[in-house]
Chain A
Amino acid sequence: MFAYVVRRLIGGVFLLLLVSLVTFVLFFAGPINPAKFTCGKQCTPALIEQNTKALGYDKPVLEQWGTYVVGIVKGRDFPDDPALKKTAPETIAHCSAPCLGYSPQTSQNVTTELQPRIPVSVSLAIAAFIMWMIIGVGAGIIAALLRGSVIDKALVGVSLIFYAMPTVVTGLLLYQFVAIKWQLVPAPQYVPFSQSPVQWLQGLFLPALTLALYYAAGYVRLTRAFILETLGEDYLRTAKAKGVPRVRVLFRHTLRAALTPIVTQAGLDLGALLGGAIITEQIFSYPGLGALAVSSANQYDLPTTIGIVLVVATFIIIANLVVDVLYGLIDPRVKLA
């Protein structure tokens, strides 16, 4: 088990290297020289060239990629010139590990820029995750048990409506009615947990609900289908034949087996969502990774974009690993090797 996790983590590192290489190559495939954004209106060809050099954009692609990867581990200096560091340390910008590069648009290190935004996206993703699992799986179980009834049809129908509705509509409707018109909750905004846990939770409620409603819709159908499939299994008949009461058959023998594929889906969805919910964050002006992804893409902020891609990829790789390990715990037939 431990060896398996270690091996998967090493594999994950290789995967991240590959992701960074691909995004790096794409970076240079475009016609944009990031150094152009370093000086704004005062730009002269000479100044651009000087900054190109200082940021290392004059080197070959592979060498730059190497410097970038080393920078993530060790940190790096801009410009990377040991002689200058001795003579004029004040002209050098240091970017400490894990250094994801320097963004000329925001005149900040990418890491510094991303750091405060990660907890925002993570809180949102986890709050939404908890809500959608309770709503989606719960409704799915009810629908499966009452198959064919009015309640089943209503649950499946309602879930279809939310599934068809883009988050931008759900989000705006919730904002408009729940927060502004009926004032059931204060206008959503992000408050760090460390500042006030209660406000943090209040602020999270609507954006998380927006996401949860969308995702829960899929989970209702998923859970319903898997439970119905499991309900046909022979071993449930065995359990009933040995006298296991109905409720216990459901919780002990049915749910555990039906859970496995849901865990897989949930893990991957959560992993992807940790990297930021682009639209929802925009609607509720949440300063998360999703919002940053939009603005950096609009401003040709390539170093920030690459940084976000790497962070998101890391989340997804970890989520995948967690799912696989959970799988092994839930289903003894799965051997981790």
Chain B
Amino acid sequence: MTESPLLEVDNLSVEFLQRGAATVNAVRGISYHVNRGEFLGIVGESGSGKSVSSMAVMGLLPSTARVTGDIRYRGESLLERDDKTLSKLRGKEISMVFQDPLSALTPVYTVGNQITEALKLHDSGLSDKAADARVIELLTTVGIPAPERRAKAFPHEFSGGMRQRVMIAMAIANDPDLIIADEPTTALDVTIQAQILEVLQKAKEVTGAAVVLITHDLGVVAGNVDRVAVMYAGRLVETGTVEQVLTAPRMPYTMGLLRSVPNMQTAGRSRLVPMEGRPPSLAALPPGCPFEPRCPASIDACSTAEPPLVQIGGTGPGSREVACIRADEFERGTLGIADVFPHPEPVPPEEQAQVKGATVLQVTDLKRHFPLTKGVVFRKTIGSVKAVDGITFDIEEKQVLGLVGESGCGKSTTILEILELARPQSGSIELNGVDVASLNSSARLKLRGDVQVVFQDPMAAIDPRLSIEDIVSEPLTVRGASRSERSAKVRELLETVGLDPAMSGRYPHQFSGGQRQRIGIARALATDPKLLILDEPVSALDVSIQAGVINLLQDLKDSRGLSYLFVAHDLAVVRQIADVVAVMYLGRIVELGEADNVFSHPQHPYTQALLSAVPIPDPRVERTRQRVLLDGDLPSPTQEIPGCNFHGRCPLFKILDAAHQERCIQTDPSLRSVHNSSVACHFAEENPLRVTGVDITEKEKS
């Protein structure tokens, strides 16, 4: 007899009834199953219904939701159960890890208290002493240092990564059979993400539970899950093993996702393929395939009826399910991913701006320390936060410098110091050969036109009460341009960034996130700057939108000869666009060099750890990768660290002998040239750590 699946979701639909508006069909007839001990990934963009469907499994949807279909756990239907019996199941048999660990723990109770609550709810006979012991055991399992002490700490005393560990501890407290992890690493830094995924794997081993991992990140799926289900507009559009789906997708949406996300291995070699348009509104779906309006492979039949999810490739182990009427053509190979999503061409050489290679920005030994003070009336300085501690770099014309590092490393302070256009605390900043310290206020205003900025969150960075024309032309208004000049320039700029100039009278809320970011770019271009500072310009955008914005930035650079200071935490995006990379750690640059060189031969142990933490959306690579994992979090910036400030977390330091270690503890390494890069590590030459899966091992199949 074959074992029945642990969880069966059968034709599940979730509708949200809205007063005075059309019903939102968040989930539309999806069926999937999870076997015991299996690791299933559900992938989709925001609004695809992936979270709603798992909340339905937990019975946690709000009362405005109407759920139909069936959800069976161990063969028994969950939908008919009342809240009381469900709550006996929740946290005991099925538990959940949520996205934002900063808000997912009750702020007024200690973490020990909250884990104990989970334990005692399902085991009323548990003694206080036994509960305490179990809490400490759980915290140890998820890798929280000093668990006895930390159990008594409140959630706000933990970092994001540590809170997510607590969430996992809570989820495995009662030895569940199914753990649903809803975007568990989305809000975290890439190094912390790698740690959390490791903990999740460990939790799975310890409990033997099946795990459902919900994510938008194909890379996260590649290295962890057995099977993948791709969701789009409330439906499953493709399922299969992780190898099948990621290496030989049969649904154009999956193909588009894979092509639009830069892969850190291959980034920069070929241009990204943007997926045009955006997902349809779930309140007003088209009659045909919901992906049809965005699908380059669509044919007439696509717009008449929605294709069902059907099995292809026989019934054996190679079988999988796809919802596309052209799936057979993909399966037979008569239609390939390159036919559907060809790589767009770069700006042709004759249209490229010719530059001489002059230095646009020169930053020398820039420092910014913030004093730490104590006392209310009589303030005294008790230390300082070295946000930026002596960094040097330059950017040439038509060059992109990628500045990377974990949050809190000083990237943002660096940008702010440059944008200030004033004498820095220490060191110097030269823009177009002019030392900004020497500027008077009118010269400063003039020079400000040469350096412009694009911010991370396009929702927050443009004024919702101004029309697009007013937003884009404001830099010109300040400089006294006439109305007709401004209007002509706005039309030209909107065209340049790929927006319809006729839309200049509209307001920001009428645009999507990607379009708003284009508006932000148009505004930055209004003064014809030489240098654009891009502060995480794509990290707030959905993956399918990112590619278009990145391509736009590349084209603008080529045709206008712009230089970029590109700040990002997503290393694949940086590799896609940057010529030179600077890796920052605690206010210092630890490695600086040509992007290709740094990405294929990272020499500083921190760079190695950063790169190996980035997941690559290719299961073949992920399974064979060697990782260099970092311990713990970024130290507090107020802490004074003697010697090399990375030695406490350094994977290389751990394998050095005592004499070498002493040098790391005693002497602060400065940047020096090693194999064509600048590296701040005493032992870069002897570094035996190797990061695999970073360089291209085989040519990308297309």
Known: A233-B103, A235-B104, A256-B108. A241 touches B121 (CB 8 A): no
Q: Which of B98, B107, B154, B171 touches A237 (beta carbons < 8 Å)?
A: B98
Q: Is the pair B104, A246 in contact by a Cβ cutoff of 8 Å?
A: no
What 0/1 readout, one digit per residue, does chain B (68-106) give for beta carbons within 8 Å of chain A?
A: 000000000000000110011111100110101001111
The verdict on A332 contacting chain B, using a C-beta distance below 8 Å, is: yes
Closest A-chain residue to B60, C-beta based? A240
Which residues of A lie under 8 Å from residue B117 when comparing CB positions? 239, 242, 244, 252
The verdict on B58 contacting chain A, using a C-beta distance below 8 Å, is: yes
Q: Is the pair A234, B60 in contact by a Cβ cutoff of 8 Å?
A: no
Q: Is the pair A242, B103 in contact by a Cβ cutoff of 8 Å?
A: no
Closest A-chain residue to B115, C-beta based? A242
Which residues of A lie under 8 Å from residue B106 when comparing CB positions? 235, 238-239, 253, 256-257
Which residues of B lie under 8 Å from residue A333 when comparing CB positions? 107, 154, 156
Q: Which of B83, B90, B100 touches A242 (beta carbons < 8 Å)?
A: B90
Q: Is the pair B108, A243 in contact by a Cβ cutoff of 8 Å?
A: no
The verdict on A66 contacting chain B, using a C-beta distance below 8 Å, is: no
Q: Is the pair B170, A237 in contact by a Cβ cutoff of 8 Å?
A: no
Q: Is the pair A257, B107 in contact by a Cβ cutoff of 8 Å?
A: yes
Known: A238-B167, A332-B154. A243 touches B87 (CB 8 A): yes
What 0/1 readout, one digit per residue, does chain B (364-376) give for beta carbons within 8 Å of chain A?
A: 0000000000000
Which residues of A lie under 8 Å from residue B173 when comparing CB positions? 242
Known: A234-B98, A333-B156. A243 touches B104 (CB 8 A): no
Interface size for A (C-beta < 8 A) is: 21
Closest A-chain residue to B157, C-beta based? A332
Which residues of B lie under 8 Å from residue A330 when comparing CB positions? 108
The verdict on A82 contacting chain B, using a C-beta distance below 8 Å, is: no
Give the distance to chain B from A3, nearest Cβ to Cβ, in Å: 12
The verdict on B118 contacting chain A, using a C-beta distance below 8 Å, is: yes
The verdict on A58 contacting chain B, using a C-beta distance below 8 Å, is: no
The verdict on B122 contacting chain A, using a C-beta distance below 8 Å, is: yes
Q: Which of A234, A240, A245, A252 touches B103 (beta carbons < 8 Å)?
A: A234
The verdict on A331 contacting chain B, using a C-beta distance below 8 Å, is: yes
Which residues of A lie under 8 Å from residue B105 when comparing CB positions? 235, 238
Which residues of A lie under 8 Å from residue B108 when comparing CB positions? 256-257, 330-332
What 0/1 readout, one digit per residue, does chain A (262-282) give for beta carbons within 8 Å of chain B?
A: 000000000000000000000
Which residues of B lie under 8 Å from residue A233 when comparing CB positions? 103
For the complex, give the distance between the alpha carbons of A299 and B98 in Å.
67
Give the distance to chain B from A121, nearest Cβ to Cβ, in Å: 34
Q: Which of B88, B90, B103 touches A235 (beta carbons < 8 Å)?
A: B103
Interfacial residues, chain B to chain A (CB-CB below 8 A): 58, 60, 83-84, 87-92, 95-96, 98, 100, 103-108, 117-118, 121-122, 154, 156, 167, 170-171, 173
Give the distance to chain B from A327, nearest Cβ to Cβ, in Å: 12
Closest B-chain residue to A254, C-beta based? B106
For the complex, give the distance between the alpha carbons of A333 and B104 in Å.
15
For the complex, give the distance between the alpha carbons of A239 and B58 in Å.
12
Q: Is the pair A243, B107 in contact by a Cβ cutoff of 8 Å?
A: no
Closest A-chain residue to B92, C-beta based? A243
Between-chain CB contacts (< 8 Å), 28 pairs: A234-B98, A234-B104, A235-B104, A235-B105, A235-B106, A237-B60, A238-B96, A238-B105, A238-B170, A240-B87, A240-B90, A241-B91, A241-B98, A242-B90, A242-B95, A243-B89, A243-B118, A244-B87, A244-B91, A244-B117, A245-B83, A245-B87, A246-B83, A256-B106, A257-B107, A332-B107, A332-B154, A333-B154
Give the distance to chain B from A334, nearest Cβ to Cβ, in Å: 10
Closest A-chain residue to B103, C-beta based? A234
Closest A-chain residue to B89, C-beta based? A243
Q: A237-B104, A243-B90 are in contact. List 12 more A-B contacts (CB 8 A).
A: A239-B106, A239-B117, A240-B58, A240-B87, A241-B90, A241-B96, A242-B118, A242-B121, A243-B121, A244-B87, A245-B87, A252-B117
Closest B-chain residue to A242, C-beta based? B91
Interfacial residues, chain A to chain B (CB-CB below 8 A): 233-235, 237-246, 252-253, 256-257, 330-333
Which residues of A lie under 8 Å from residue B167 when comparing CB positions? 238
Known: A238-B167, A330-B108, A332-B154. A243 touches B103 (CB 8 A): no
Known: A242-B170, A243-B122. A235 touches B87 (CB 8 A): no
Q: Which of A235, A253, A333 has the most B CB atoms < 10 Å from its CB? A: A235
Which residues of B lie under 8 Å from residue A243 when comparing CB positions? 87-92, 118, 121-122
For the complex, give the distance between the alpha carbons of A245 and B106 in Å.
15
Which residues of A lie under 8 Å from residue B84 when comparing CB positions? 245
Which residues of A lie under 8 Å from residue B154 when comparing CB positions? 332-333
Which residues of B lie under 8 Å from residue A239 when comparing CB positions? 106, 117
Give the distance to chain A from B97, nearest Cβ to Cβ, in Å: 9
Q: Is the pair A234, B107 in contact by a Cβ cutoff of 8 Å?
A: no
Give the distance to chain A from B84, nearest Cβ to Cβ, in Å: 7
For the complex, give the distance between the alpha carbons of A202 and B90 in Å.
51
Give the distance to chain B from A333, nearest Cβ to Cβ, in Å: 5
Q: Which 4 A-B pairs have the closest CB atoms?
A: A243-B91, A242-B91, A234-B103, A241-B96
For the complex, give the distance between the alpha carbons of A333 and B90 in Å.
29
For the complex, give the distance between the alpha carbons of A337 and B121 in Å.
37
For the complex, give the distance between the alpha carbons of A238 and B87 in Å.
12
Which residues of B lie under 8 Å from residue A245 when comparing CB positions? 83-84, 87
Give the distance to chain A from B142, nearest Cβ to Cβ, in Å: 15
For the complex, give the distance between the alpha carbons of A322 and B495 in Å.
61
Known: A240-B90, A241-B90, A241-B95. A331 touches B107 (CB 8 A): yes
Give the distance to chain B from A223, nearest Cβ to Cβ, in Å: 17
Q: Which of A237, A238, A244 touches B121 (beta carbons < 8 Å)?
A: A244
Give the distance to chain B from A261, nearest Cβ to Cβ, in Å: 13
Give the distance to chain B from A117, nearest Cβ to Cβ, in Å: 37
Closest A-chain residue to B94, C-beta based? A241
Which residues of B lie under 8 Å from residue A252 when comparing CB positions? 117
Give the distance to chain B from A249, nearest Cβ to Cβ, in Å: 9
Which residues of B lie under 8 Å from residue A246 when comparing CB positions? 83, 87
Closest A-chain residue to B88, C-beta based? A243
Which residues of B lie under 8 Å from residue A241 when comparing CB positions? 58, 60, 90-91, 95-96, 98
For the complex, give the distance between the alpha carbons of A67 and B616 in Å.
80
Give the distance to chain B from A240, nearest Cβ to Cβ, in Å: 6
Which residues of B lie under 8 Å from residue A331 when comparing CB positions? 107-108
Give the distance to chain A from B373, nearest Cβ to Cβ, in Å: 13
Give the distance to chain A from B487, nearest Cβ to Cβ, in Å: 43
For the complex, give the distance between the alpha carbons of A335 and B483 in Å.
53
For the complex, give the distance between the alpha carbons of A235 and B517 in Å.
32
Known: A243-B92, A257-B107. A234 touches B87 (CB 8 A): no
Q: Which of B84, B90, B156, B170 has the most A CB atoms < 10 Å from its CB? A: B90
Closest B-chain residue to A244, C-beta based? B121
For the complex, give the distance between the alpha carbons of A245 and B95 in Å.
15
Which residues of A lie under 8 Å from residue B121 when comparing CB positions? 242-244
For the complex, give the distance between the alpha carbons of A246 and B87 in Å.
9
Closest B-chain residue to A246, C-beta based? B83
Give the distance to chain A from B448, nearest Cβ to Cβ, in Å: 39
For the complex, give the distance between the alpha carbons of A235 and B100 in Å.
10
Closest B-chain residue to A238, C-beta based? B104
Which residues of B lie under 8 Å from residue A256 when comparing CB positions? 106, 108
For the complex, give the distance between the alpha carbons of A245 and B89 in Å.
11
Give the distance to chain B from A317, nearest Cβ to Cβ, in Å: 18
For the complex, give the distance between the alpha carbons of A330 and B90 in Å.
28
Closest B-chain residue to A331, C-beta based? B108
For the complex, give the distance between the alpha carbons of A333 and B106 in Å.
11
Closest A-chain residue to B93, C-beta based? A243
Give the distance to chain B from A227, nearest Cβ to Cβ, in Å: 15
Give the distance to chain A from B175, nearest Cβ to Cβ, in Å: 13
For the complex, give the distance between the alpha carbons of A333 and B107 in Å.
8
Which residues of A lie under 8 Å from residue B58 when comparing CB positions? 240-241
